[in-house]
Amino acid sequence: MTEFLLATAGVILLTVAVGLVRILSGPGDADRLMAAQLIGTGGIGSLLLIAAATGARGVEDVALGLALLAAFASAAFVNSAAPAEAPDVADGR
Amino acid sequence: MSLVVDLFSIVAIGAGVFFFLAGTVGLLRFPDALSRLHALTKADNLGLGLVVLGLLPRSDSLLAALKLVAIWALVQLASATAAQLVGRAVRCKGTAV
Amino acid sequence: MTSATLAGLIGAALVGLGLYGLIANPQPLRKILAFNLMGSGVFLVFGIVARKGAAAGLQADPVPQAMVITGIVVAFAASALAVALVLRLFEAAGRATLDPDAWAKPPDGGAGAE
Amino acid sequence: MSVLQALDIGLAFLVFAVAAWTIFARGAFAATVGYVVYGLLLALVWIRLFAVDVALTEAAIGSGVTGVLLIGAAARLRAAETASDEKPLSGLTRVFAAALCVLVALALASVVLLLPDQGPSLAPLSMQKLPETGLGNPVTAVLIAYRAFDTMLEKVVLVLAVVGVWSLAADRYWGGAPGEARAASPEPTLAFLAQILAPLGVLVGIHVFWVGADEPGGAFQGGAILAAMWIIVMMARLTEAPQANAFWLRLALVAGPLVFLAAGAAGAIFAGNFFAYPPGFAKPAILFIEAFMVLSIAVTLPMLVAGPPRREPRQ
């Protein structure tokens, strides 16, 4: 079972790596921001699997911290891209 | 009993990995940023949910199990919000593309 | 090769990579990034010392771990100060370059003096 | 080769590749996003080294808070990048620099390879004295008891960093608030996220601090999570950054090192040595000090991210 957990963690990391190659190259900043999202989800998944396999204690808290901070990159981007004096970005709908 | 648990974990985590794979395939194949965003946030979150589901019976305490569920819920929230924010950045061309 | 040794080797490679970025990247923000990379490489080398000091029922020596924790926090404080300096330079002068020759020319565009 | 080894090697390659991306990427923004990814991968490596306390710190500070700082800076410096008048290094200098860096990396790598399998360790000593502190987590014991003086000085460094950042303010802004004013209508999506995330994050932060006595966690990690929650609330413009001359803010900034120093001095009087804790009373003393450290860290990190004051102080 341990082997299975580790192997799945590896496969998830691999898919994340392949996704990162595609996403980090752009073309736009939006694509690049998705990289933070991709590694957030995939990284937490493989973190939990590795922890379950190796029996490291207290790893749930690390994953919890990562999950809390998963949206921070996008939030920081939106926050600094749209300064306060700019008109509120309309939805265009 | 432990065989049943193992089988459950293998099926759930295996399905989770499949969705991670599907998400990456979507990233590679979809032509524009918005549909890539769609593939990424939907498929990967389902994948993480299934991985968490598979790990649930293996956690050693109720608190640990609750934490696992909380992790998944928080990632859901973060992904949904980030997808909204990034999607909006794609739409208003001034800041992206 | 153990996973600890592997992490140590990655640490060594990161120090080299960060040092190169620090020298070769002209923009100050990129230099800050490179410096952080170098720092985390050093932390990883610390990490292998901790892992190889596993004893007394512990899986890693706590003393290097504690030093890395304080190190990460101090590295963040230093980066924040550096970023603030770069942003202030940009705000005050309309550009953020470390190239002394560039300052001889008048600025072309940018935020302008405050 | 076992599955674990394969995973370790794959992880190592991934870390190295993302690190190389942050150095060689074309745009500063792309590089900073790479750095956020790198921070998260590093947390995975720390888990593999069984240093969960460090992984927690790396996750909260290395990836999360540093990410906000760098992405914000990259977005603001975009204009500087397009109007860049730097000339890149000449080819020859580049080759020399690369050679130097390869040499440094090789020297470090050989040191790593020459380390004995069972290195020198302070682990037995820290475990031996652990019962006297009343703690169960030796890393916390090192931070707050065995090497308390170090940690106290490190808190002073944080305060000095805030003073350094604040001192970059223009004269007329001295004592004012950093960042933009509170928006009349905050960005709705971000506000939604912040309103749900902040209460949960405060809970998690306090939990991480509290379990830090016995399990992985502690004042730095808990404080950093609390700090992140204040940062997200400020980013959503639900609240604005406080004025730098606010008395409560300054008190909160120095409370950690001040209480720590006072406890150290009290140790000299009551326990016979500077930074000694009286026997049987060590754990309450440590938790008391840590609580103020959490407060100071939770206030210091957002102030460092917010930057120097940019508005005139209100009287």
pLDDT greater at residue C21 or residue C59: C21
Half-sphere exposure of C86 (CA within 13 A, CB side): 28
Q: Whole-angstrom Cα distance, residue C71 to residue C11?
A: 15
Domain limits, chain A: 2-78
Instruction: Measure CB to CB from residue D3 to each of A6, A78, A88 and give the nearest one.
Output: A6
Alpha carbon separation from D284 to A61, B20, B67, D213, D288 (Å, rounded): 23, 46, 27, 10, 6
Predicted pLDDT at D156: 92
Summarize pLDDT for D227-263 with one digit per residue, the tens. Answer: 999 999 988 888 888 888 888 999 999 998 999 888 8
Coil, helix or strand for D178?
strand
Q: Whole-angstrom Cα distance, residue D97 to residue C19?
A: 8
CATH topology (fold) of C3-109: Helix Hairpins (1.10.287)
**Greatest CA separation for chain D:** 68
Predicted pLDDT at D201: 92
- Which chain D residues are closer than 8 Å to B78 by Cβ? 193, 197
Q: Which helix H or strand E contains C88, and what residues bound it?
A: helix C62-93
Q: Whole-angstrom Cα distance, residue D23 to residue D28?
A: 9
Predicted pLDDT at C24: 86
Closest CA to A70 of D36, D222, C40, D227: D36
- Which chain D residues are closer than 8 Å to C80 by Cβ? 69, 161, 165, 304-305
Q: How far is D247 from chain A (nearest CA, A)?
A: 27
- Cβ distance A10 to D64 less than 8 Å, yes or no, reads no
Q: Whole-angstrom Cα distance, residue B22 to residue B14?
A: 12
Q: Does B5 touch chain A (CB under 8 A)?
A: no
Measured in residues, chain C has a length of 114
Q: What are phi and psi of D141, to 5 degrees?
A: -60, -40
Q: Is the pLDDT of residue A47 over 70?
A: yes
Summarize pLDDT for D135-177 with one digit per residue, the tens. Answer: 778 888 888 888 888 888 889 999 999 999 999 888 888 888 8
Closest CA to A5 of B59, D37, B76: B59
Look up residue B68 and give its two tokens: 């696992």
Q: Does D90 touch chain C (CB under 8 A)?
A: no
- Which chain D residues are closer than 8 Å to A59 by Cβ? 47, 52, 55
Domain limits, chain C: 3-109
Q: Is the pLDDT of residue D80 over 50?
A: yes
- To which residue do tokens 């406080």 refer? D242
Q: ω into residue A27 within 30 of 0, thus cis?
A: yes
pLDDT greater at residue C62 or residue D271: C62
- Cβ distance B20 to A48 less than 8 Å, yes or no, reads no
Contact by Cβ (8 Å): D138, C58: yes
Mean pLDDT along residues C79-105: 82
Mean pLDDT along residues C32-45: 92
Closest CA to C16 of C49, C31, C38, C32: C38
Q: Which helix H or strand E contains A20, and what residues bound it?
A: helix A2-24
| Cβ-proximal residues to D110 (8 Å cutoff; 6+ apart), any chain | none
CB pairs < 8 Å spanning B and D: 16
Q: Which helix H or strand E contains D106, and what residues bound it?
A: helix D91-114
Chain D's closest residue to C50, CA to CA, is: D121
Instruction: Measure CB to CB from residue B20 to each of A29, A33, A45 and give the nearest one.
Output: A45
Low-confidence ranges of chain B (pLDDT < 50): 94-97
| Cβ-proximal residues to D90 (8 Å cutoff; 6+ apart), any chain | none
pLDDT band at residue D182 under the 50/70/90 scheme:
low
Q: Whole-angstrom Cα distance, residue D37 to residue A66?
A: 11
Q: Is the pLDDT of residue D54 over 80?
A: yes
- To which residue do tokens 């990289």 refer? A35
Q: What is the ipTM of this complex?
A: 0.88
C4-8, C81-85, D5-9 — most confident range? C81-85
Please write down the HEC assignment for all residues of chain B.
Answer: CHHHHHHHHHHHHHHHHHHHHHHHHHHHHCCCHHHHHHHHHHHHHHHHHHHHHHHHHHCCCHHHHHHHHHHHHHHHHHHHHHHHHHHHHHHCCCCCC
Closest CA to B43 of B2, B70, B74, B79: B79
Mean pLDDT along residues D69-87: 75
Closest CA to D287 of D262, D269, D260, D265: D260
Query: Tell me, what DSSP letter sits at residue A87?
Result: P
- The pTM for the full model equals 0.89
Summarize pLDDT for B13-36 with one digit per residue, the tens. Answer: 899 999 999 888 888 888 887 888
| Cβ-proximal residues to C45 (8 Å cutoff; 6+ apart), any chain | C8, C11, C12, C15, D108, D111, D112
Q: Is the pLDDT of residue A92 over 50?
A: no
Predicted pLDDT at C77: 93
- Cβ distance C70 to D97 less than 8 Å, yes or no, reads no
